[in-house]
Amino acid sequence: MAKKIYKTTVDIDGGDWGGRADSNQGLLEGLPIILELFRAYKVQGLFFVSTELLAEHAGLIRNVKDHGHEIGSHGHFHTVFKSRSRQQQNKEIAEQLLKAYGVARDPIAFRAPKFSYEVPGEVYSSREGHIGLIRSTLGLDKPTSDSILYLHPFDIVEPKTKAPNLFCNLWYSHFKKATATLESLLNQRS
C-alpha cells in the first residue's frame, strides 16, 4: 500500500520564529485558527512537532490528533546541528518523546528544522517540492497541484513581540495577507 502524501504541513516549533522570539503566541493563538481553517476546508494535515514543547503543551498537540491530523517529528530541539550524528540523535529523542507523551505511537515522518537533515526517501525531509506560506504570500513561491505547503502557527497571528530580525519585521506586516493566502491555498486543496 502506498504511503499517503500530505499536501499541507505545519511545523510547530519551540517558540515563535523557530525559537528566535521568546513567545508561544503562534502556538496558543495560531494553532487553533489553523485547526479551524483545516476543518472548514476539509484538509487533513501533517503536523511536525518539536518535542521540546511537550512538557508544557502536550494537550495542545494531542488536540491536533483529536482533529484527525497526523503527527510527525520536527526533532527535540529546534536546532540545526552540523553533525549528522547529532541530527540523528535529535530525531531519535523526539520520536521517543512523542511516544512517551502519547502523542504519536509511530511518527509517520521527520522534518528537521530548516530542512537541514534529509532522510533518504522521505519526501518531507527535503525542501524539494515544498512551498512556504511566507514565501507564497510574498510571491516568491508559486504553488502547483503537486506542491507541499508548509507553514507555522505564528505565520498568521498579529505579533505582540518585537521582530527578532529584518526578515521577521517584513513578515510581521503581512500576517493578514498570509491568512488570506492560506485560505486560498486550502480552498485549492479541498
Residue at 128 is within a domain: yes
Q: How many residues does the chain have?
A: 190
Residue 35 lies in a domain: yes
Edge to edge, what strands does the sheet with 8-12 contain?
Answer: 70-73, 46-49, 8-12, 148-151, 130-132
CB distance 153 to 30 below 8 Å: yes
Nearest to 77 by CA among 63, 59, 91, 67: 91
Domain count for the chain: 1
At 160, the amino acid letter reads K
pLDDT band at 70 (very low <50, low <70, confident <90, very high): very high
CB–CB of 157/30 below 8 Å?
Answer: yes
Query: Which residue, chain included where needed, has cell 534529509?
Result: 118
- Of 9-18, 20-29, 79-88, 181-190, where does the model show the most confidence? 181-190
Domain assignment present for 1: no
Q: Which grid coordinates belong to 64?
A: 491536533
In this predicted structure, the answer to whether residue 16 has a pLDDT above a threshold of 70 is no
Q: What string of DSSP letters covers 45-101?
A: -EEEE-GGGHHHHHHHHHHHHHTT-EEEE--SSS---SSHHHHHHHHHHHHHHHHHT
2 lies in some domain: no
Residue 102, all three cell numbers: 502519547
Residue 18 pLDDT > 60, yes or no? no
Residues facing residue 12 across a β-bridge: 49
Q: 3-class DSSP state for residue 189?
A: helix
- Domain extent, residue 154, equals 8-189
- For the domain that residue 124 is a member of, what is the CATH number? 3.20.20.370
